[in-house]
Structure formats: structure tokens, C-alpha cells
Amino acid sequence: MEKNSIHGMWSSRLMFILAAAGSAVGLGNIWRFPYLASDNGGGAFVLVYLGCIAVVGLPILIAEVLIGRHGRMSPINTLRKLALEQGSSRGWVGIGWLGIAAGVLILSFYSVVGGWTLHYTWLYLKQLLGGAPLGDPASVFQSLLSNPLELTFWHAVFMLPTAAVVALGVETGLERAVRYLMPALLVLLLLLVAYGVTTGRMADAATFLFRPDFSRINGGVLLSAMGQAFFTLSLGMGTMMTYGAYLPRAGTSIPRVLTVVALTDTSIALLAGLAIFPIVIAFGLDPAGGGPGLIFNSLPLAFEAMPFGTAYGLLFFGLLAIAAWTSSISLLEPGTAYLTERSGLRRRKGSALLLAGVSWAVGLLSVLSLNVWSDVKVPANISVLGGKNIMDVVEFLANDLMLPLGGLLIALLAGWALSRTILREQLSEMPEWLFNTLRWTWRIVAPPLMLIVLVQAVS
């Protein structure tokens, strides 16, 4: 009989696809991708980003999930088991620890930004119920960032349900959220793209996003693009390994389902770009250098101008918050699974609350760096970190260093340390040539690319 995970299993292959897509699609696609494209030269960034997803992202995604399905435990214990079975170094277990740390760090600022989306949901709800219109988007956003109490409040409102869902076990509650609400978000995005067409600026937006200016491609663009590829696919920190641990064997081809997940994720990011940039251009904002406030400064302009815009704004930010929740849940799951294994199964609730609490507390640093401590910055002469505030530093450490490092180690583990038998057992449906291509990608294609990125990050 097939071995199951002690944490439970996805009820079906579809459920796994929904959960993995729910993890992948989130703030990374709709908040982060557009503003990184805006800050890194549009088409140049998008092209490198797509390359990173195809050449490195998808192969590492497959590696993570297959390792998870083989081990059936939290990343730390899965890796421990593999090391024992293969007689390889126990050092690989470090990937699991690195991942838990990255998860707590990412969740810390993810939840702060998730709080922004809740704040906007609330603003549109108030307006819909007869309140005054939002007013100038730039000042609305600035006044939110300058208010530490309000930020802390929404950060907590975002974190609590995340902790609650993980405490109860990820299958409960997640299924409904992803099955109905994510498609609804997709429909809303498509309507926004249609609205973008009516502004007459779609062609300009597409040019900005898809015509690469090759002279703008440099190490910094590669670093941001690779970091974003990992972030958006939830890679390099054990989330996908953990979700893979709950994936039933029978009849599920890992590469096939993960290609669906990666395509969904990439399409949603591109659609978000096509929704946002026509609005940015039509309302006279600068498409370049939009920064983290990009969607909050631009979308409200469109909601103000379009029919039923208030209801639209409410739905859009509400669904974005839900997409962010399905991702934040997956950030908390690997660490919670590990603590639960360590402390006995009845401790799942305590484990989830503990990690969420730590992450929430670390998030307060990000909150304060937006206002009270906005002057606290890394001295300008310290290479890549120079000029960054605390929130930027946390984001840099987690997204640009820890995720690519985790990814590099996973590629090396799958490519060089795991036996062909184990790999073939998990990838039995794959034609031989494709399997070999994948294995060589783990061995010699991905590692040097990741190394370049890491060297770029620290130099």
C-alpha cells in the first residue's frame, strides 16, 4: 500500500494543483512582478524573468516536489531520511533549516503587504456603503505607510487567519478558497485588461513590457529576475517540497501537473502587467520606477474613473487578499510540519501559532521601517545593500539570497546526490530523453546560473 504523510494528504491531484497554484499565485504576481518590471526596464526584465522560470524555475520545482513525495515528511525530516537512505552527507538537511528561516522572514513582510490589501478592501467597502471617495491615491497610500498603528493592525488581521488555517491543517478551508475565488480573481484581471484596452494605451503598455532593450540587461536585472522567479513559484524554501509530501502517487505525473502550475502562475503575472501598465500610462504616471506602491498608486485611479469602480475595487483588493492568504499559508506550512513532527502530532496548533507569532513580531520591523525608522538605512557604500531600509534588507536576504541558495542546493542534491532509481521512481512517466535533459539541467545548467546570481547578490 502507498505510504501517506502523517500530516494528511491532498484529496486528489486536482487539489494538489489548486494548492500549489494557490501558493504560487499571490502578491508576487500582482504586486511584486509589475513593480519589479517597472523598476528594471520593462521588457528587459520580463524576458530574463521568463527565461529564469523556464530554464531554472520549473526544473527546480519538479525536484522539490519529487523529493517531497519521496520523503513524505517536513523538509528537514525528508532530507534527513534521504541522507540516511543514500548514505550521503547530513549537511543536506541544512536546506530544510534554511527554508524554515526564509519562510518566517518572507511571511514577516508578506503579511505587512497583505495588510495593505486588506486596508484597501476596507476603504472600498466603506465607500460602497456611502462613505466619501478615496481621494488622491498617492496620498492615501502615503498616509497608510506613515501610520504604524494602522499598519500593525492590518498586519495582525492578515496574520491571524493564516495561523488559524495552518493550525487546522492545510486541506481544511484551502480547497474552497482556491477552487472558486482564484478563478474569480482571474476574471477580474481579464476585465481590467479589457478596461486597459479602452484607455487606448494597451499598445504602449505591451511595448514597455515586451520589447526588451537589451542594453538594460545587467547583473542587477538578472538578480531581480531570478529572485522573482523563485519567489513567484514558491521555490527554494521547502513549501513545494512540503506540498509534494502530501501528493498521492497514483496516476500523477509530477512534471505534467507542475507545468500547469508554472504556466498558470506566469500567465497571471503577465496579465497583471497588462492590466496595470495601460492604466499607469493613461493616467500620466511614469511606467518606470513605480516601486512597491505601483498598484496602490495606479489602480485606484482606474476604479475612480470606471463604472461600478467602487464595487470593482472592493472585489479586486478582497480577492487579492485571499490570493495572498493562500500563499502565506504555504509559507507557514513547512516550519509547522517540522515542529509538529518534533513535538508530537497534537502540537500542530501550538506550532503554527508559535511560528506565526515570531513572523508577526519580525514583521513589526518592516512596519516601523516605513515610518518611524524610515531614516534607518544601510550606509550607501555597502554594495548591494546600500541605501536599503529594514524592510528592503529582510526582503533582499530572503528573496535574493536565501531562496536562490536553497534552489542551488536542491538542484545539486537532485542532480548529483540522489540515485537514478529514486528519481526514476518518482518520474516514471517521463520519456527517457526528457528525464536525461532534466537531470543534466540540475547538474550543469542550473548551478552555474544560480552561482552567478548569488555572486552578483553579495558583490
The residues of the shown chain that bind ligand PHE, judged by CB under 6 A, are 23-24, 26-29, 106, 231-232, 234, 237, 239, 327, 330-331
Pick the closer one to ligand PHE by CB: 33 or 442. Answer: 33
State in angstroms the smallest separation of the CB of 110 from ligand PHE.
Answer: 7
Pick the closer one to ligand PHE by CB: 299 or 332. Answer: 332
Pick the closer one to ligand PHE by CB: 301 or 398. Answer: 398
Q: Which residue is nearest to ligand PHE (CB)?
A: 28
State in angstroms the smallest separation of the CB of 396 from ligand PHE.
Answer: 15
State in angstroms the smallest separation of the CB of 393 from ligand PHE.
Answer: 18
State in angstroms the smallest separation of the CB of 327 from ligand PHE.
Answer: 4
Pick the closer one to ligand PHE by CB: 24 or 450. Answer: 24
Pick the closer one to ligand PHE by CB: 59 or 236. Answer: 236
State in angstroms the smallest separation of the CB of 26 from ligand PHE.
Answer: 3
The letter for the amino acid at 219 is G
State in angstroms the smallest separation of the CB of 275 from ligand PHE.
Answer: 16
Q: State the greatest distance between any 2 C-alpha atoms of the chain, in Å, as a whole number.
A: 67
Pick the closer one to ligand PHE by CB: 265 or 341. Answer: 265
The letter for the amino acid at 209 is L
Handedness of CA 276, 384, 262, 360 (dihedral sign): negative
Pick the closer one to ligand PHE by CB: 64 or 175. Answer: 64
State in angstroms the smallest separation of the CB of 109 from ligand PHE.
Answer: 11
The Cα–Cα gap between 17 and 422 comes to: 23
Q: Which three cell numbers stand for residue 84?
A: 540516511
State in angstroms the smallest separation of the CB of 113 from ligand PHE.
Answer: 9
Pick the closer one to ligand PHE by CB: 237 or 322. Answer: 237
